[in-house]
Amino acid sequence: MLVVNGLRATVGEKEILQGLNLTVNPGEIHAIMGPNGSGKSTLAHVLSGRDGYTVTGGSATFAGQDLLALEPEQRAHLGLFLAFQYPVELPGVNNTYFLKAALNSIRKARGETELDAVSFLRLIKEKLKILHLDESLLKRAVNAGFSGGEKKRNEIFQMALLEPKLAILDETDSGLDIDALRVVADGVNALRSPERSMIVVTHYQRLLDYIQPDFVHVLAKGQIIRSGGKELALELETTGYGWIDAEGLAA
Give contact residues for other proteins (rule: CB under 8 A): 48-51, 71-73, 75-77, 81-82, 84, 87-94, 97-98, 101-103, 105-106, 109, 141, 158, 162
- Give the H/E segment covering residue 187: helix 178-190
The distance of closest approach from Cβ of residue 93 to other proteins in the complex, given in angstroms and rounded to an integer, is 4
User: Are the C-beta atoms of residues 22 and 45 closer than 8 Å to each other?
Assistant: no
Residue 44 to residue 4: CA distance in whole angstroms: 12
CB nearer to other proteins: give 110 or 125: 110
Of 211, 208, 170, residue with least CA distance to 192: 211
The distance of closest approach from Cβ of residue 89 to other proteins in the complex, given in angstroms and rounded to an integer, is 8
The distance of closest approach from Cβ of residue 92 to other proteins in the complex, given in angstroms and rounded to an integer, is 3
CB nearer to other proteins: give 49 or 225: 49
Sign for the CA dihedral angle at 111, 112, 118, 122 comes to negative
CB nearer to other proteins: give 75 or 221: 75
CB nearer to other proteins: give 58 or 72: 72
The distance of closest approach from Cβ of residue 112 to other proteins in the complex, given in angstroms and rounded to an integer, is 12
For residue 174, what is the DSSP state? T
User: Are the C-beta atoms of residues 191 and 197 closer than 8 Å to each other?
Assistant: no
Residue 26 to residue 49: CA distance in whole angstroms: 21
CB nearer to other proteins: give 106 or 208: 106
Neighbours of 129 (CB within 10 A): 10
The distance of closest approach from Cβ of residue 75 to other proteins in the complex, given in angstroms and rounded to an integer, is 8
